[in-house]
Amino acid sequence: MNNGELLVSKMPDVLHAARQIRQGELTSVALVTACLQRIKTHNPTLNAFGDVYDIAALQEAGDCDRELAQGRLRGPLHGVPFGIKDLFSTQGLRTTKGSLTSLDYVPESDAPIIARLKAAGAIILGKTATTEFGWTGSSVSRVFGHGRNPWNHALTSGGSSSGSAISVAARMVPAALGSDGGGSVRIPGAFCGIFALKGSLGRIPTWPWSATEMLSHAGPLTRTVRDSALLFDILSGPDARDHQALPEKGESYLARCDVPLGKVRVRFSPTLFNTPVAPVIASLVAQAVAKIADGLPVALQVGNLDWPNPFDTFNTLWTGGRGIAYGAALVDKSGQLDPGFATLISRAAELDLAAYLQALKQRAAFASQVHALFDEVDFLLTPTLPILPFAADRHTPAGQPAGNSGVEWARWTPFTWPFNLSGNPAATVPCGFTADGLPVGLQVIGRRYADGEVLQFCAALEALMPWDNRQPPGVA
């Protein structure tokens, strides 16, 4: 059995794949071949990928193998294949943004995150599914088919980085890129049982301009914390096209993960804004927190926070940003839009400038409360989500009352988007499984700009309660 055949049953993570290729234990062609086989096997059911560049990817993998034989290494990701969320601009490659209105759009330039991935030697294997313009936390899609959870195919994977999370959890690729404007890497990360970090606002530069740029972050979805740390090392840093991009971080996040954790102050809030949490989630998260308190050097505080619910603030900023920016351009294409996105556009038309400016003021006030907490603690822990995955063809869980906002999905994700408002780094870590085999996520939030500290803490959590040894049924 050759390396490619072996990999069909055991897909390496990013660090292992890159090291095996460098050391000659694995060829890039074998790895890409294995990924393509897994996509062929699982994608018809799970709907993770749209366009797949099988011929081009195999050709590039062959080039990588020949270059390595000649002693040339493109970078730390030499020959490793990735999935790319179909919101990111990819030069010469179709970028549908998950919309029937953009099926023929081909960007002329790469987004910074794509250029840096290529410069590190990675291979773009294909574009992964996203909801229409990334507007919702579900996995409903008219372009790709509804994204399905690898742990239970009847259920949603979460979104909007649905295909990226599915592809990583189902071992179609070692890792994938996503974006997060309200939870879009953490929601599917939690539902699919993988690791995902939304870095500090501006940590990884974004471009082209986003209609909700003050909320939107770019970053990887991975199986392990160290894979994420490596990718944050590669993808972070200023870019002239993103005026929010942060300066050089001045440290290696991957190296930080190997530094033993010192005494840290941790606050566990079992819920936020008095949101009911499913009992099985509350129990598994509480068990994980107890294990953390027993196994790591933490000073633990337990208690809910008395922050006011900023839902209306987020609704105004998200609905106004997405709806007004896209509304005028899509006014003649409403029949091609997801009905939920069309509703968002109509709600945006009802907003005025005074309401939008007031929401910006309210956002600043809420963010100040969040930042003040981190004068007293190093990390805040919450459940990532208060509910388990629901049916794959729904935007909201059955039983959620119909609402009148443009972001009804934000009502079932109340623990993720508040930290887009504040800009804090926030990660989801798998922390247990239900009796039915569904993963549950624990959210780790750090002080603003402390991405390295969050990764270091999450690496300690992974060592304490490892998760990557468990795979979805039918994938192992």
DSSP-assigned letters across all residues of 174-196: SEEEEEESSSTTHHHHHHHT-EE
Closest CA to 172 of 192, 152, 154: 192
3-class DSSP string for 64-81: HHHHHHCCCCCCCCCCCE
Closest CA to 308 of 387, 453, 210, 418: 418
Is-contact 135 322, C-beta < 8 A? yes
Percentages of the chain per state (helix, strand, coil), in multiples of 5: 40, 15, 45
Tokens for 61, please give them. 């993998």
Residue 328 has a pLDDT of 77
Residue 474 has a pLDDT of 81
Residue 283 has a pLDDT of 98
- How many other CB atoms are there within 10 angstroms of residue 186's CB atom? 34
Using alpha carbons only, what angle is made at residue 138 by residues 135 and 144, rounded to the nearest 5 degrees?
Answer: 85
Residue 112 has a pLDDT of 97
Closest CA to 57 of 169, 145, 172: 172
Q: Is 123 helix (H, G, I), strand (E, B) or coil?
A: strand
Residue 391 has a pLDDT of 98
What is the maximal distance between C-alpha atoms in the chain?
A: 66
The CA distance from 310 to 152, in Å, is: 33
The CA distance from 92 to 107, in Å, is: 6
The CA distance from 145 to 46, in Å, is: 9
The CA distance from 20 to 26, in Å, is: 5
The CA distance from 415 to 393, in Å, is: 23
Tokens for 430, please give them. 């798998």
Burial 151-180 (b: 16+ CB within 10 A, else e): bbbebbbbbbbbbbbbbbbbbbbbbbbbbb
In the block, tokens 């099988």 appear at 54
Residue 8 has a pLDDT of 47
Query: Mind listing the pLDDT tens digit of every residue in the chain (476 residues)?
Result: 344 444 545 899 999 999 999 999 999 999 999 999 999 999 999 999 999 999 999 999 999 999 999 999 999 999 999 999 999 999 999 999 999 999 999 999 999 999 999 999 999 999 999 999 999 999 999 999 999 999 999 999 999 999 999 999 999 999 999 999 999 999 999 999 999 999 999 999 999 988 898 999 999 999 999 999 999 999 999 999 999 999 999 999 999 999 999 999 999 999 999 999 999 999 999 999 999 999 999 999 999 999 999 999 999 999 999 998 888 788 788 889 999 999 999 999 999 999 999 999 999 999 999 999 999 999 999 999 999 999 999 999 999 999 989 999 999 999 999 999 999 999 999 999 999 999 999 999 999 999 999 999 999 999 999 999 999 998 86
The CA distance from 388 to 282, in Å, is: 11
Angstrom distances, CA of residue 314 to CA of 321, 412, 471: 10, 14, 35
Positions marked catalytic:
85, 160, 184
Residue 1 has a pLDDT of 37
The CA distance from 291 to 266, in Å, is: 13
What strands, in cross-sheet order, belong to the sheet with 439-446? 49-52, 123-128, 81-85, 175-180, 217-222, 195-198, 426-433, 439-446, 379-383, 264-268, 298-302
